[in-house]
Amino acid sequence: MVGAGTLGKYPRLELVALLLGTGVVFWAAHVFSRLFGARMVNRLSWDVVRSTSKEERPIIKAAVPPAVAAAVAPLFGLGATGIAWLALAVALIGQVGWATVAASRAGAPRRLMILAGVINLFLGLLIVLLKVGLQH
């Protein structure tokens, strides 16, 4: 999304494909690394491959809200740049929200939940700074 301002003739469609494709690639990388680590400890089986693939599915799911935002952005009269910014904002909100939810589900005290949200907000804002820097 950071370089999405450089998309071609169909920026909305390309951004949706980029978001979903990146989610799938990150998911596959996570599955591979976990399976490789599991292979070092135990013998791999199809059950391990299936369960690992399922456990890592949230990575793909995280790409869906920004992709949906990019797909429906023209309803709000947004151009290519606006579409990219909307998708980035939705991704950042999701990043902060899910980090906080994950900390909560792990039983973290309130201050650690807030810290998880703040750190993820900071990391997301670094991505925004990269986007601004790369577009100018």
Q: What is the pLDDT of residues 10-64, one digit of tens each?
A: 778 888 999 999 999 999 999 999 898 877 777 788 898 999 999 999 999 999 9
Contact between 2 and 131 (Cβ < 8 Å)? yes
User: What residue has token string 């680590």?
Assistant: 37
- The encoded tokens of residue 113 equal 């939940």
The more confidently predicted of residues 3 and 88 is 88
Q: What are the pLDDT digits (tens) for 67-117?
A: 999 999 989 898 888 888 899 999 999 999 999 999 999 999 999 999 999
Q: 43-62: b or e for each residue (b if 16 or more CB lie within 10 Å)?
A: eeeeeeeeebbeebeebbeb
3-state secondary structure of 42: coil
| pTM for this prediction | 0.78
pLDDT of residue 6: 52
